[in-house]
Structure 1
C-alpha cells in the first residue's frame, strides 16, 4: 500500500529518541552525545501538521558535558516527559548521575521538574537506554545496560529494589499486573507491586517525621526463552517487546538471529522476526520473518492495529498486528538505520528518526489497520460461496 510521507532534515541534530505529548506535539531527543563533537545535546518540541509539516515550538539545550537524551516516554494527560540524560563527566566520576529526568510541557515550553539517579553499575559508559511508563501513568521504569529501577511517577520515588540482569536490557513493557524485561537472552516477567505509590516515603503522623520506605525485590514470575522457530541452531536476541494496548494476553516481540561464525564459509545474513505471544500460556501464536537485516526499533499503534519497525537496511515498515500482513514499506527512509519510531496518540501518524539528522513523518492511510476485518469478511464470503456451491451440487 502506498503511503504519503515527508522527510525533514535537521541541521546538526542526530535523533535518538522521540515521543508525542499530544496528537500534534512531537518531542525529539538527540545531539552529539557526551563526546566533544561540537554538536549540542537538546530536547526539541515540534508541532506536526496534517500535511506532515513540522514547526519548532521549543528547544531546550542541555548543559555542557551532559549526554544526549537516548530514551523517553510521555504522559499525555499530565503533559509530562520522562527521559534519560547522563550528567557531565565530572559528576559521573564522583558517582553523581542524575540521569532520570522529568519535564513538564507548560505554555509551549519544557520545564524541568525533578531528577533522580537510577544507574547502579558505576560504569561511566552506562546510560538510561530504556524509559517506559505504565498504562496508568503511575509507574516508570528507567533501565541501563544491565539494571533497572521501578519508580513512582512523577515523584521518581523508588517502588522496589533495583533489578540487575546478566544479559543486556533492550526493552521493557507493562501490563496492568506485570512488567516484562526484554534482554538479549530472554524475557523476564515480574509481578508489579500492589500499590503504585508503595515506594513513596510515608509520614509518621504522631511524630510528624518521615520514615524511610522499606523496599522489596520485584517477584520474578517466569523466564521466557526465544522460540525455537526463531532461534534455530545459532540462537537469537530479543530487540524489543510490547504488550497489546488493549489486551494484556497478547505480547509482541522482535528478534534478530545470531549468524553462525565460520572461517571457511561466509556468514549467513542476520534475519529478523516478529512474534505474537499468548501470555496466558507463554507460547508463540504467530511468527513472521520480516527481513535479512537486524531490526533496530519497534512500536505498536495506540489502537493496537499496527506494528511498526525500523531495520538496519534503512527501511521502515508497517504490519497488521493481527495477521502480520505487510501494510506498507518505505525502503530508503533514512541514510542511517532508524533509531526511534513512534505513533501519535490517534494512530494516524508515524514518525521515524535517525542519527543521520533526519526524521520522516508518515501519514497512516485510513484503510491501514482495518485490513484484519477486511480479510475476515473476504474469508467469510469465500466460505459462504463454497458452502452454497456444495449445497447446489448436492441437490442438482
Structure 2
C-alpha cells in the first residue's frame, strides 16, 4: 500500500537544472535559458517553503550576465550554507581559455553572493560544460564531472586541485560520488562505473570498472546515477541504469560499497529514471521517472514507501 505523498506545484519561470536544500532548509534552485537567449534569465534563487500556504517565498536571487551560460548542476556543502554550481563564462571567454566554471556562492537569508571559482574543464567549445558536482561527506573535497569525460577533485575551501583524470573519451561523466572516508570516488559514464582511488600510490587512477553489460542478462542498460550508502545503508551503494533499444524502463542496482559487486537489480520504473537521490541517513531512496512520477523506496529492502504522479 502506498503512503500518502502531499505535494504542491509552483511555477518558477525558467528551465531548472539543479535543486537542493541548505542546512537551514532554504530551497535553492538554478537554471535559465543559456547564453544570449533574450528574455530567459540565468540565475540562482533561494526560497522559503511555505507548506501551509502551499507556496514558495522568494528570499534571494543571483542573476548572471546574459552572455554567460545557465547553471547546469548544483550541490550544497554538508555543513555550510555554500552552494557550488557549474556555469560557463561567455563563448568568447571560453575560446580564449578563460572559464572558471566551477563557482562557489554563499547563501544568505536575503542575499546570494559570489565566493570563489576554479576551472574544472579545459574545453574551449561552448557546448561542453560541467555536468555534475558533489561534496564528500564532511565537505573537505569537491568532485566534478564534465561533458569532455573528465573527473576533477579539489580541496575545499581552497579549491586546490587534487586530481584530474580522463575517464572516458567522447562521452559525458553523468554523475560522481565519494565514499564516507573520501578515499575513493565512483564516476558514472553510460557504459560503466569507474572507481577512482583518491589516496595512496594509486591516487588519481581508475582501479576498477563495472561494465553496464554485466548488470542484466536480458536487458541492455546504460548507467545514469550513483550514490554510496551511509548510515542505515553504509555497506551498500546504489546505481541507476536505464534500458536502451528494445529494453525499457529504469532499474536500481544495489552493489557492495567496498567491492562494487552487484548484489541486486530491481526494475523500479517502466520508463527511464531521470533523477535520483539518497536520504542523508541512508534509509530512503528517492527517484523521478520520465512518466512524471516521483517515488520513495526503503533503501534496505527497495520496498515502496511512497509514490506520487506529479503531472497528468
Q: Quick check: TM above 0.5?
A: yes
The CA distance in 1 between the partners of 2:90 and 2:123, in whole Å, is 17
Q: Is the 8 A contact 1:44 1:56 kept in 2?
A: yes
Aligned pairs (5 A) from 1:164-183: 164-166=167-169, 167-175=171-179, 176=181, 177-183=183-189
* 1:225 is the counterpart of 2:217: no
Structure 1 residue aligned with 2:6, among 4, 10, 21? 4
Partner of 1:296: 274
Q: Where in structure 2 are there 5+ consecutive unaligned residues?
A: none
The CA distance in 1 between the partners of 2:278 and 2:287, in whole Å, is 9
Partner of 2:164: 161
The CA distance in 2 between the partners of 1:228 and 1:64, in whole Å, is 45
The total of aligned residue pairs comes to: 303
The CA distance in 2 between the partners of 1:294 and 1:272, in whole Å, is 4
Segment drifting more, 87-96 vs 115-124 = 115-124
1:318-366 CA-partner distances (Å, limit 9, x unpaired): 11111111122222x247xxxxxxxxxxxxxxxxxxxxxxxxxxxxxxx
The CA distance in 2 between the partners of 1:217 and 1:92, in whole Å, is 30
SS in structure 1 opposite 2:130? coil
1:153-201 CA-partner distances (Å, limit 9, x unpaired): 122111123434234211101101211001101111111136xxxxxxx
Task: Report how far residue 23 of structure 1 moved.
Answer: 4.2
Task: Report how far residue 24 of structure 1 moved.
Answer: 1.9
> Which has the greater radius of gyration?
1
Aligned pairs (5 A) from 1:36-115: 36-51=37-52, 52-115=54-117
* 1:241 is the counterpart of 2:226: yes
SS in structure 2 opposite 1:287? strand
Distance verdict in 2 for CA 1:231–1:310, change over 3 Å: farther
Q: Is the 8 A contact 2:237 2:260 kept in 1?
A: no
Distance verdict in 2 for CA 1:140–1:280, change over 3 Å: closer
* 1:258 is the counterpart of 2:236: no
Task: Report how far residue 50 of structure 1 moved.
Answer: 4.3
Distance verdict in 2 for CA 1:18–1:101, change over 3 Å: same
1:30-77 CA-partner distances (Å, limit 9, x unpaired): 111225242000100001234353210001111121111111111142
The CA distance in 2 between the partners of 1:111 and 1:122, in whole Å, is 27
Structure with the largest fraction of helix: 1
Partner of 1:126: 128
1:245-264 CA-partner distances (Å, limit 9, x unpaired): 225431000100111xxxxx
The CA distance in 2 between the partners of 1:273 and 1:107, in whole Å, is 39
The CA distance in 2 between the partners of 1:157 and 1:5, in whole Å, is 41
Structure 2 residue aligned with 1:188, among 194, 202, 207? 194
1:195-216 CA-partner distances (Å, limit 9, x unpaired): xxxxxxxxxxxxxxxxxxxxx9
CA RMSD, 1 decimal: 2.0
Aligned pairs (5 A) from 1:299-378: 299-331=277-309, 333-334=310-311
State TM-score, norm by structure 1: 0.72
The CA distance in 1 between the partners of 2:207 and 2:58, in whole Å, is 45
SS in structure 2 opposite 1:282? coil
Higher RCO (Cα < 8 Å, 6 or more apart): 1
Distance verdict in 2 for CA 1:36–1:2, change over 3 Å: same
Q: Where in structure 1 are there 5+ consecutive unaligned residues?
A: 195-215, 260-267, 336-396
Task: Report how far residue 217 of structure 1 moved.
Answer: 5.8
Task: Report how far residue 295 of structure 1 moved.
Answer: 1.2
The CA distance in 2 between the partners of 1:34 and 1:76, in whole Å, is 30
Q: Is the 8 A contact 2:101 2:117 kept in 1?
A: yes
State TM-score, norm by structure 2: 0.91
SS in structure 2 opposite 1:230? coil
